[in-house]
Structure 1
Amino acid sequence: MTSDLLQLTVLGSATPHATADNPCSGYLVSSGATRLWMDAGSGTLARLQRHVRLDEVDAIWISHSHADHSADLLTTYYAVLFANVRFEAPIPLYGPPGIADRLAHFLTNTATRSPVESAFAVQELHDGHQARVGDLTLTTRAVEHGIPAFAVRVEAGGRSLVYSGDTAPCANLTRLAEGCDALLCEAESSQAPADGPQVHHTPEDTGDTATAAGAARLLVTHVGPTLTPDEAVRRASTRFHGPIDYAAPGTTFSIA
């Protein structure tokens, strides 16, 4: 049964590795009959199949190439080619520059390049990239994570969800999230680094970004191993005074 509501289902939100109860970063975004798999961290392919068959996924969007956000693309490749499911065409895959070559390197055992394009129709992301996936409109902005990394605004039926990916606080993310109905924002770091560049949000940063953007709701995700979800939510709430929830694995949120 499908819903016209914009919905977010959390497949996993762990970092830097999957745990017994929580896969790494991965989310299913849906509206009507459209299904978008957003980040494919370790363990998320199995969780995805609790909700949809792989051939029902309209596209995959990957924020950056770190394994806790992309490793299950490797097993997805084999599922597309060898599972007992018929795919009419390669799955559209939106990802950071070089993602096809990176996958090919891991998937080949010979000097011959792995035919990644037989499973995925790859489109490389760039700052300002826009795409239409079924009922969903996707707007991507570059963010600050030390490698090519992106955040995305997903819109459908007048509702909007913004996903930060992994990033330090930055103007591009704040602008992308302006007036959104829900901001799904990482809170990996317990504190900003004393030296070196900042590449993640702290919980306080997460609250600050939501407040600066005028987000209606904050969903805290990708909580680092030195934090508990309750602590991350509590600390974010000192900077953002709207509704806050933790993106617990298995939870479905209606964006309304």
Structure 2
Amino acid sequence: MSDEALRLTVLGCATPYPAVDNPCSGYLVTCGETKIWVDAGTGTLGPLQRHARLDELDAIWISHLHADHTADLLTAYYGALYADVTLTAPIPLYGPPGIADRLAGFLTNTSTRSPIESAFAVTELYDKHEATVGAVQLTTRAVEHGMAAFAVRMSSGGRSLVYSGDTAPCDNLTALAADCDVLLCEADAVGDGGGVHHTAEQAGDTAAASRSNRLIVTHVGRALSPAGAARRAARRFGGQVEYASPGATYVV
């Protein structure tokens, strides 16, 4: 295990489309030389390049197939194969079942299927999937979003970061986040949550139930301000609560 700290850089967290100064969901998680792009929402490839080129990534991890979490995989494909990037091997891509064919469906413009696998070495996720990427161990759990969707726990050197992806509160997420150092939890919903997202209050509940040390609320719906979301989450969780500010880096 590495003694290097885990670092979370917020590339964007807007929903369901980019704001002027905030792309959709995307994060860069680093640990020493290890670099993992977590979700590739609309507009996140641009700020990613402030920190890492495509050919410097050790892996890409995708929570689910909604466009605000995947759209920039399409432009990354072109960047990886047809521009100034030279890959020594396809980029490892961990994503929900069917992700390769979904990408090909967008990118194929003739009778010949686009060679997705030339850019990405695809591994389909499933509940309790385990992987090691450089210095980081990844544990995936299935969560509740009305489609195949996953959360991930990323651990190194005794430190842990859990990312909810998009999900309603659920036992799998609470178990995955047990005693984690940082829970990065979405707060897209208002009202009762609608069964597929957390409200800000529910993000606080999940952090409390999992005994997380620190909560960072992200993917906040447009009906609520970032500061308002953090205040609402803090009503339910006694630990440190922050908002995932675009461009910010958080040390785990």
Matches within 5 A, 1:75-114: 75-114=75-114
Which whole-Å CA distance do the structure 1 matches of 2:181 and 2:83 have between them? 37
Report the equivalent of 2:158.
158
Q: Post-superposition, which runs of at least 4 consecutive aligned residues in structure 1 deviate over 3 A?
A: none
1:195-236, CA deviations, whole angstroms, 9 ceiling, x for partnerless residues? Answer: xx5100001100000000000000000000111001100100
Q: Alignment length, in residue pairs?
A: 250
SS in 2 for 1:68: helix
Choose the corresponding residue for 1:246, options 223, 227, 243: 243
Q: Which runs of 5+ in 1 are unaligned?
A: none
Which whole-Å CA distance do the structure 2 matches of 1:55 and 1:117 have between them? 15
Q: Say yes or no: does 1:233 pair with 2:216.
A: no
Return the letter of the residue paired with 1:4.
E
Deviation at 1:85, TM superposition (A): 2.1
Matches within 5 A, 1:141-156: 141-156=141-156
Using the aligned pairs only, state the percent identity.
Answer: 66
TM-score, scaled to structure 2: 0.98
Return the letter of the residue paired with 2:171.
A
Report the equivalent of 2:30.
30
Return the letter of the residue paired with 2:201.
E
Return the letter of the residue paired with 2:69.
H
Which whole-Å CA distance do the structure 2 matches of 1:253 and 1:223 have between them? 18
Report the equivalent of 1:173.
173
SS in 2 for 1:24: coil
Matches within 5 A, 1:182-197: 182-192=182-192
1:122-173, CA deviations, whole angstroms, 9 ceiling, x for partnerless residues? Answer: 0000000000000000000000000000000000111000000000000000
Return the letter of the residue paired with 2:84.
N
Choose the corresponding residue for 1:203, options 197, 200, 204: 200
SS in 2 for 1:145: coil
SS in 2 for 1:132: strand
Which whole-Å CA distance do the structure 1 matches of 2:186 and 2:201 have between them? 11
SS in 2 for 1:4: coil
Q: Which runs of 5+ in 2 are unaligned?
A: none
Deviation at 1:17, TM superposition (A): 0.3
Return the letter of the residue paired with 2:60.
I
Which whole-Å CA distance do the structure 2 matches of 1:111 and 1:177 have between them? 45
Report the equivalent of 1:217.
214
1:20-62, CA deviations, whole angstroms, 9 ceiling, x for partnerless residues? Answer: 1000000000001000000000000001001111111100000
Report the equivalent of 1:70.
70
SS in 2 for 1:18: coil
Return the letter of the residue paired with 1:5.
A
Which whole-Å CA distance do the structure 2 matches of 1:220 and 1:49 have between them? 24
Which whole-Å CA distance do the structure 2 matches of 1:58 and 1:167 have between them? 26
Which whole-Å CA distance do the structure 1 matches of 2:158 and 2:36 have between them? 17
Report the equivalent of 1:125.
125
